[in-house]
Amino acid sequence: MDNPTAYSLTEAELETRLQARLGERTSTVLLAFRRCYPGVQPFDLFSVIATASVRQAALTQAERKAAQGAAPAYVYLFTYHTPVLDGRPGAFHSAEIAFVFNNLDRCDQLTGGDPQAATLAEMMSEAWVNFARTGNPNGGNLPHWPAFTPAYRTTLVFDTTCAARDDFDGEALKSLPVG
């Protein structure tokens, strides 16, 4: 966030960074993640790939919850990019908290007063309230959010446009080396 040169990362530099981590799988991983995240900047793509293990852990947890056959699990991914600092903060860990509690007015430095952020906060907070009340986040202006199942692996992507996506990044995650 504090690095104004982060977005100067070139495609060649991205490949070099990933080559050090992924070796011969670099091209396969890049292709899979580019299909999942079309048109993103090289730095954003590096960030998604570098943190993919956290995403995979969340999906594994949802798979285990679904296997219990008790209460449903719902998986989401927060991808909203603030216009503040030319979008450099990206969708960082815990950025969604102000949206979930719909208290953007307390941290307008995060959104710069973006009206799309306010709409997103209304949808997210309503989903969390619905889930707390009923165990189901659906309702209001939110697109239908199916419970996670191993067959569909649905993720609700929260952004300026929200959408439920089946197996959103499954191909990309499978491209990564195991371990």
**What pTM, to 2 d.p., does this model score?**
0.88
* For residue 159, pLDDT beyond 90: yes
Determine contact, residues 142/126, Cβ cutoff 8 Å.
Answer: yes
Strand (E) or helix (H) holding 174: helix 170-175
d(CA 114, CA 159): 12
111 or 168, greater pLDDT: 168
Residue 110 tokens, joined: 């995060």
- The pLDDT value recorded for residue 94 is 78
Average pLDDT of the residues in 151-167: 95
Q: How many CB atoms lie within 10 A of CB 135?
A: 11
Angle at 8 between CA 163 and CA 98, to 5 degrees: 40
* For residue 86, pLDDT beyond 80: no
DSSP state of 6: G
- The pLDDT value recorded for residue 2 is 64
Give the distance, in angstroms, between the CA of residue 53 and the centroid of all CA atoms in the same chain: 13
pLDDT digits (tens, 9 = 90+) for 100-122: 999 988 877 777 788 888 999 99
Q: Parallel, antiparallel, or unpaired for β 155-158 and 163-165?
A: antiparallel
Angle formed by the axes of helices 26-36 and 42-50, nearest 10°: 110
- The pLDDT value recorded for residue 8 is 87
- The pLDDT value recorded for residue 130 is 96
- Comparing 5-14, 17-26, 106-115, 170-179, which segment has the lowest mean pLDDT? 106-115
- The pLDDT value recorded for residue 113 is 80
- The pLDDT value recorded for residue 172 is 95
- Taking the CA atoms of 14, 177, 165 and 132 in sequence, report the sign of the dihedral they define: negative
SS3 88: coil
Query: In 3D, which of 22, 5, 6 has the Cα closest to residue 177?
Result: 22
- The pLDDT value recorded for residue 33 is 96
- The pLDDT value recorded for residue 110 is 77
Beta strands in 61-143 (DSSP E): 75-78
- The pLDDT value recorded for residue 179 is 59
Sketch the domain layout of the chain as residue ranges: 6-175
| Bridge partners, residue 163, by sequence | 157
d(CA 158, CA 138): 13
